[in-house]
Amino acid sequence: AQSVAQPEDQVNVAEGNPLTVKCTYSVSGNPYLFWYVQYPNRGLQFLLKYITGDNLVKGSYGFEAEFNKSQTSFHLKKPSALVSDSALYFCAVRDRDTDKLIFGTGTRLQVFP
């Protein structure tokens, strides 16, 4: 079965420091991978996606993600965190059998001043 895992419920980082939010996946074939962000009392916003091509994908708000096929990971990164990056982050993978998106359980990012 296709699945996606976000092993950390919460990530804390100081403003100005680099941040990483982890995501691992399990799919058959080539994965389509996505990151979304949810600010308080809002819906999800698309950040970036990996379909094919370069393993390093750049997205909105200075975020990027690295696709690692051997480790089946798609970690979200940012070189310098902002307090305004504090939000809930979701990784998602396409289910190859049903063509639907499977979302992880989310990671809450807290950036402290």
Partner 1 sequence: DVKVTQSSRYLVKRTGEKVFLECVQDMDHENMFWYRQDPGLGLRLIYFSYDVKMKEKGDIPEGYSVSREKKERFSLILESASTNQTSMYLCASSFTGDLLRISNQPQHFGDGTRLSIL
3 binds partner 1 (CB under 8 A): no
Cβ closer to partner 1: 24 or 106? 106
User: What number of CA atoms fall less than 13 Å from residue 18's CA on the CB side?
Assistant: 7
Among the listed residues 49, 64, 75, 82, the single contact to partner 1 using CB under 8 A? 49
Beta carbon nearer to partner 1, 64 or 95: 95
- Residue from 61, 69, 100, 112 touching partner 1 (CB under 8 A): that is 100
- Residues 63 and 56: beta-carbon distance below 8 Å: no
Q: Characterize 15-54 residue by residue with b for buried, 16 or more Cβ atoms within 10 angstroms of its Cβ, and e for exposed.
A: eeeebebbbbbebeeebbbbbbbeeeeeebeebbbbeeee
What is the Cα–Cα distance from 18 to 106, expressed in whole angstroms? Answer: 19
Q: Which residues pair with 90 in a beta bridge?
A: 36
The three-class DSSP label of residue 61 is: helix
51 to 90: interface string for partner 1, x by CB under 8 A: x--------------------------------------x
Q: Segment contacting partner 1 (CB under 8 A): 13-21, 64-72, 78-86, 95-103? A: 95-103
Interface with partner 1 by CB under 8 A: which residues? Answer: 32, 34, 36, 41-46, 49, 51, 90, 94-95, 99-101, 103-106
